[in-house]
Amino acid sequence: MSVSYRKGRRLEYGVKELLESQGWFVVRAAGSKPVDLVCIRQGQTVLIECKYNKSPTKQELERLAEISKISGARVLLAVRQKYGRLRIYDPFTGETFFPYLPPDK
């Protein structure tokens, strides 16, 4: 098991635990196909792709846009930046996602 795989998996589980602590039902998609986490709370579905210390490629962003279009769900990126900072955000608007806020109605 490579170091980058372990870091990525640890990030996925950390984001999963964070969202679960805020009342989300979270399923981790093994093998990162097509996204890492499927998160559901109060009728809202959010799909999250996790990245450890790197930005998504153009092809990854296109794939996420297509998944969002097909599913009707919001697609987000969770990025663990240098020095341990975690940011969950919409890769298309740049808007930060706060998992503890109530869903938009």
Is 99 inside any structural domain?
no
Whether residue 16 is contained in a domain is answered as yes
Q: Is residue 97 part of a domain?
A: no
Structural domain boundaries, residue 20: 3-89
Total domain count for the chain?
A: 1
Question: Is 32 one of the annotated active-site residues of the chain?
Answer: yes
Catalytic residue, chosen from 32, 55, 68, 71, is 32
Higher-pLDDT residue of 31 and 90 is: 90
- Find the CATH number of the domain harbouring 24: 3.40.1350.10
Task: Establish if 101 belongs to a structural domain.
Answer: no
- Give pLDDT tens digits for 66-101: 999 999 999 999 998 777 788 999 999 999 998 876
100 is a domain residue: no
Cα–Cα distance, 17 to 24 (Å, whole number): 9
Taking the model in full, what pTM does it have? 0.87
In a domain, 103, yes or no: no
